[in-house]
Structure 1
Amino acid sequence: MAGGTFTSHNKVRPGAYINVRTNNLNVTNEGISGIVTIPIVLGFGPEKTVIEVDSGTNFNRIFGYSLDSPQLLLVREALKRAGTVLVYRVNEGTKASAELAEELMVTAKYGGERGNEISVVIQPNVDYADTFNVLTYLGVDLVNTQLSVEGAADLIDNDLVTFSGEGNLSTTAGITLSGGATTDALAGDYADYFNAIAVYDFNTLALPIDDQTTKVAGVNFIKALRDQEGKKCQIVISGYRADHEAVINVKNGVVLEGGTILTPAQAVPWVAGATATAAVNESLTYFTYEGAIDVHPRYTNSEIITSLNNGEFLFTEKRGTAVVEQDINSLVTLTVEKNQEFRKNRVLRVLDDIANNTKQVFEDNFIGRVNNNADGRGLFLANRISYFTALQDLGAIEDFSSDDVSISLGETKDTIVMNAIVKPIDSIEKLYMTVVVQ
């Protein structure tokens, strides 16, 4: 569906075009929630494909690794908070293979070095003469069993391998595949990812990489989604001062239980997951990073203040845990249309929810279905008043009245114009206390 921002009433496609701004420089969510997308480099799994996973997914069968493996650390950190992760294997590789019998080949389903740890065992079936059981292993784990196989024509591809050719089966203690190789991801691979994920709905994009050129491409991609497609989402990166409310710039990492040190880039997925899951009435300030016992590196008070002023999202140590110092994005340049409040992610979540929800409701219930007369506009007005009232009941906005929303006929007969005034609520973060001793 069409959407985005507007400068004049000259749009061609039907859709909801929404501007959000402030008017000065004073210092129920029906949409998606808890969805993170992340591109990762892996040694196995579907290449250049968006795969939806959650904490209950069988990762071994899809990616060749368990969720607690080092290879899936980034996904594991995202799932500490996210309900759903859209994983995209951004690299490719050479498929491992082996000869099971003369003219009969077994080949890893996907390219990559993990395919070299796949083996196939052929055993005689004790119940049916002249048939075999074919077992597929990943390392020491049995992944697939085919019983009573008579010949090559009866073999069925499974999650790990494909079979090809002809030939007679014979007993073998185990044939291990070889020749699998993993290739690195290049800039063009990440461009493919941005194109692929653009048609999906998500709250945050985690980009845990070091390449600055790809970071710039990712930031520009999210800006385009917000301004041209009307999809209000954020990107989480590290080491890049984007000076934009849609970009969260992670400054440091954490130390996990057991001593594993996560770099800022490796902490990006957790921040993306926590941000995606946070409600419109919730701030991540002083939010605890699950499983973390310290931050790395630590910073002094003056360094923390400098980082916050630079729009950097950082962790601080608090009594044996790692907490979010302040839930902010990278915006530092304030304007008449984007004041200090736009730096706070809680406020931005409210504004983004208003835009996303209005777009969704308008597309699903009003475009092409409702007359553009007083009654039709009144229906949309009533819907929006109900929505803003629900936000106020949640503690996301305050001081709202029905007079704060107006809907009128636009410049053409198929256009309506909506104006709304909202006052987002932020969380308590600072205490100034004076104690008088008598």
Structure 2
Amino acid sequence: MAGGNWSATDLPVLPGFYMAFRSAATAAIGQGARGTVIFPVKAHWGPVRQIVELGSENEAIEAFSADDSGGATAYATLRFGLLGGASKLLAYRLTDGTDAKASITLSDNATTPADVLKLEAKYSGERGNKFRVTVQANAVDSALKDLKLYEETKLLRTFTFADGSADAAVEAINGDAANKWIVASKVDDGNSTLAAVSGAALAGGNSGLSGIANGDYIEAFAAFETQSFNAVALDGVSDAALLASAAAWIARIREEGAGAILVVGGGIADDKAADAVGKAVARSAAMSSEGVVNVGAGVKLAGVEYSSAQTAAYVAGLIAGQSLSQSTTYAPAPFEDVTRRWTRSEQEQAVRGGVFLHVHDGRQVKALRGINTLVSPGEGQRNAWKKIRTIRVIDTINADLQRTAEDNYIGKVNNTEEGRLALIGACKQYLQTLAQAGVIEATGYDVYVDTSFAAEPDQVFLKWEAKLTDVVEQIFGTFIVQ
């Protein structure tokens, strides 16, 4: 799918839908489905280096477990993304390549036991080391055996099969659709009778977390490009070199037409430092992009402190999950407090410096102002580009119109006056929908052929004109006492 930005001096070669946004002719916002956030995560369970789609906390626990020990980040990261309001999460489990599956080999009951059945955890990771198996005679039918699978002391599943057959055991375990934990394979027939076992532990599981490096995250970014998403955040990592790589990556894919926003943050020490505002502003200055949001304050939830880098997952969910007519400014948050309460002057410095901040107003925690890291707008931009809402609007209109053009117009409509009128009519109808929803001003929007360019027979240059609406963020009043 080709698309992205274009310039009059360097027209694209590939067929596709190309748009350029100018402050004098701001393109309008879209109505496409939103709410998808993508995360790299570290976990003790789950598919490795694969995109896993999740829609609830229970699904996140089932996919990656709730174990956040030893550097695992999946549960907290995905939970925060859902708390923010994302409707869909795409998670990618990182490892350093040393991850391994826990396993155990069961023997027969011969005088000289022979290995007959191997049980292996479905996924690599230390969670598999908590699995225990018990093999015993079935209490009702002596011709059957039960293999009970436990996670520590919790019974996960009982597999019942004909006694004396490793093949029957394999079929019972692998053929059970409810089995999400182990895979069985026959080693040998043996004497056809499994030996009784009580609480034997699987071993050898390794999560592959200790050696995860920036290169593993960069590899994840490449995988993300195969997906459609609205926001992306890291899993609490705040390494400056990695953040720079992530910002460069998001800048590239945005240039290529992927309207996604990266959300980053800092470590807990920076969040609570005396010069926390300076550190956060410096981080924003290093990014300085309409496509990057920098969270400046950590938060407290259920008595646990989370860094601004961890809170970035929540903000990514908030950005993706809101409707296009909403703003993140003053959006209430589910946290009980922030890890450091900033003074008014610090808050003002943060806003001027492109820092997204959570504050406690004495009653609740809320977002201060919905801004990105763009401090000095570039060519073709204006101050509105500093607002998250504006960028979401621009990104969505781009995605919506590109999808419509590819599905219904490119390669399907003749480049005649009639065909161009059909395309323009569809675009105007789209803008009318946005105007009715209050996303753009109800008057003054238009779509027309841009005659300032000499179009080739297979090219159409269009201009969209619309005025974006905004939300009330500042109220100034004068109270006259008589």
State the TM bucket, normalised to the shorter chain. over 0.9
Aligned residue for 1:255?
A: 300
Instruction: Sort the Cα spacing of 1:149 and 1:88 in 2 relative to 1 into closer, same or farther, 3 A.
Output: farther
Aligned residue for 1:217?
A: 245
Describe how 1:407-422 pairs up with structure 2 within 5 A. Answer: 407=449, 411-422=455-466
Letter in 2 for 1:288: P
Deviations 1:245-267 (A, max 9, x none): 000000011111x3111110111
Matches of 1:178 and 1:142, distance apart in 2: 18
Instruction: Sort the Cα spacing of 1:60 and 1:204 in 2 relative to 1 into closer, same or farther, 3 A.
Output: closer
1:322 corresponds, among 330, 352, 365, to: 365
Which region of structure 1 is more displaced relative to structure 2, 121-130 or 105-114?
121-130
SS at the partner of 1:313?
coil
Describe how 1:167-178 pairs up with structure 2 within 5 A. Answer: 167=190, 168-178=193-203
Aligned residue for 1:405?
A: 447
Which region of structure 1 is more displaced relative to structure 2, 298-307 or 126-135?
126-135
Q: CA deviation at 1:188?
A: 2.1
Matches of 1:227 and 1:210, distance apart in 2: 24
Matches of 2:437 and 2:160, distance apart in 1: 57
Contact 2:36–2:321 under 8 Å retained in 1: yes
Does 2:153 match 1:123?
no
SS at the partner of 1:413?
coil
Deviations 1:241-286 (A, max 9, x none): 2100000000011111x31111101111110001001121110111
Contact 1:125–1:132 under 8 Å retained in 2: yes
Task: In structure 1, list runs of 5 or more residues that go unmatched.
Answer: none
Matches of 1:193 and 1:20, distance apart in 2: 29
Q: CA deviation at 1:179?
A: 2.2
2:399 corresponds, among 356, 359, 366, to: 356
Letter in 1 for 2:167: A
Aligned residue for 2:77?
A: 74
1:181 corresponds, among 206, 209, 231, to: 206
Matches of 1:105 and 1:369, distance apart in 2: 57
Matches of 2:224 and 2:331, distance apart in 1: 29
SS at the partner of 1:199?
coil
SS at the partner of 1:312?
coil
Runs of 4+ in 1 over 4 A off after TM superposition: none
Deviations 1:373-424 (A, max 9, x none): 011111110111011111111111115445x211358621111111111211
Aligned residue for 1:109?
A: 122
Contact 1:31–1:360 under 8 Å retained in 2: no
The total of aligned residue pairs comes to 430
Which region of structure 1 is more displaced relative to structure 2, 366-375 or 347-356?
347-356
Task: In structure 2, list runs of 5 or more residues that go unmatched.
Answer: 108-113, 267-282
Aligned residue for 2:6?
A: 6
Contact 2:65–2:75 under 8 Å retained in 1: no
2:181 corresponds, among 135, 141, 160, to: 160
SS at the partner of 2:120?
strand
Describe how 1:30-429 pairs up with structure 2 within 5 A. Answer: 30-55=31-56, 57-65=58-66, 72-80=75-83, 81-91=85-95, 92=97, 93-101=99-107, 102-103=114-115, 104-150=117-163, 151-154=165-168, 155=170, 156-157=173-174, 158-164=179-185, 165-166=187-188, 167=190, 168-184=193-209, 185-207=212-234, 208-228=236-256, 230-239=257-266, 240-241=283-284, 242-256=287-301, 258-290=302-334, 292-401=335-444, 404-407=446-449, 411-429=455-473
Percent identical residues: 30
Matches of 1:140 and 1:417, distance apart in 2: 67
Which region of structure 1 is more displaced relative to structure 2, 292-301 or 98-107?
98-107
Letter in 1 for 2:460: I
Contact 1:32–1:201 under 8 Å retained in 2: no
Matches of 2:436 and 2:153, distance apart in 1: 55
Aligned residue for 2:279?
A: none
Matches of 1:60 and 1:170, distance apart in 2: 34
Instruction: Sort the Cα spacing of 1:74 and 1:307 in 2 relative to 1 into closer, same or farther, 3 A.
Output: same
Aligned residue for 2:276?
A: none
Does 2:476 match 1:432?
yes
Q: CA deviation at 1:61?
A: 4.0
Contact 1:329–1:343 under 8 Å retained in 2: yes
Instruction: Sort the Cα spacing of 1:411 and 1:211 in 2 relative to 1 into closer, same or farther, 3 A.
Output: same
Contact 2:424–2:448 under 8 Å retained in 1: yes
Matches of 1:144 and 1:415, distance apart in 2: 62
Matches of 1:170 and 1:401, distance apart in 2: 81
Matches of 1:203 and 1:215, distance apart in 2: 18
TM, length-normalised to structure 1: 0.93
Contact 2:444–2:466 under 8 Å retained in 1: no
SS at the partner of 2:426?
helix
Contact 2:41–2:74 under 8 Å retained in 1: no
TM, length-normalised to structure 2: 0.84
Instruction: Sort the Cα spacing of 1:149 and 1:186 in 2 relative to 1 into closer, same or farther, 3 A.
Output: farther
Contact 2:289–2:374 under 8 Å retained in 1: yes
Matches of 1:219 and 1:353, distance apart in 2: 20
Q: CA deviation at 1:128?
A: 3.2
